[in-house]
Amino acid sequence: MVVIHSYGVAVFLAFITMLCWGSWANTQKLAQKHWPFQLFYWDYAIGVLLLSLLLAFTAGSIGSEGRSFLADLAQADRKSLLFAFLGGVVFNIANILLVAAIAIAGMSVAFPIGIGLALALGVIVNYISTPVGNPVVLFVGVAFVVFAIILSAMAYRKLPSQTTTKTKGIVISLAAGVLMGFWYYFVAASMTENFVNPAAGKLTPYSASVIMAIGLFVSNFLWNTIFMYKPIEGEKVTYRDYFKKGDTRLHLIGILGGAIWGLGTVVNIIAAEQAGYAISYGLGQGATLVSALWGVFIWKEFKGAKGVNGLLTAMFLFFVVGLALIIVARLY
């Protein structure tokens, strides 16, 4: 399988993750006028699974290092398979809540609050599990990102929208962030620490990503069904609607969204061997900055709001400084 051997390459892959995790929700924005997010999310789940299988049978099955995808699955123990599967289940409910928050509050709010909180919790949990990097530098960087989240929330309060919608969007974003902070830990717990000479019973990045994607897809029949028939926002939808109302374009947009997120996830856990799980996850969650840029400059979500320019500028600066500190934490 393809394995990397330098921290510089790991940081580059983490930036790819940042772009992917911060950009996939644009597909949901493109589809939401004609396609409820619950129906979009089925295609998203399919896209994650298809992308993980594609990489597993290509990059995960060539080369002389590590174990090939099918051989890795054949030797995996039940505990490792369960952890990777559980990672997909936890991520799924967190992400459905995040998509609901995007539909209600917009990308420039849901991502900084939800994913920003997930960044703080995820770095703490994964660092405790696998302490790699200077903890002082790392957690100061996390603190900068948390402050950026606060600034984002302050800017959001100035939007000319109804108070009930504001409150609902923030609460759902917070719930998504808490859950999102833990899914990566389960996937990391399923994986071997040495990708070149993997431990027996443990999974390598490519097989772990496939099992996680299966957990995401299977749990969708529970989590997404609940949201379809008991929606947080809008009218309920049915499985019949998925097949009757969706055209090829809408289905492909959802699959593309899932594939973009899936690509970011696989390269992120590949980078984790060199960067450490806490740093790799933390850098990937710089997606908050990317998504905020999309929301502010492309989707114009703060158009018409007064007194937000200074807050948004400060938010971006704190994100940049925080991410820079997370990067250099591995060098000490």
Decide if pLDDT at 301 tops 60.
yes
What local confidence, expressed as pLDDT, does residue 165 receive? 55
Can you read off the two tokens belonging to residue 296? Answer: 């502010």
User: Which residue matches tokens 């559980």?
Assistant: 86
Taking residues 42-61, report their average pLDDT. Answer: 97
- Report the percentage of the chain scoring pLDDT > 90: 66
> Does position 163 have pLDDT exceeding 50, yes or no?
no
Every domain of the chain and the residues it spans: 7-331
The 3 state secondary structure assigned to 198-234 is CCCCCECHHHHHHHHHHHHHHHHHHHHHHHHHCCCCC
Name residues whose C-beta falls within 8 Å of residue 38's C-beta, 6 or more positions apart in sequence. Answer: 224, 227, 228, 231, 237
Give the pLDDT confidence of 148-159 residue by residue, as tens digits.
Answer: 878 877 776 777
Indicate the pLDDT class of residue 198, thresholds 50, 70 and 90. Answer: very high
pTM to 2 decimal places: 0.91
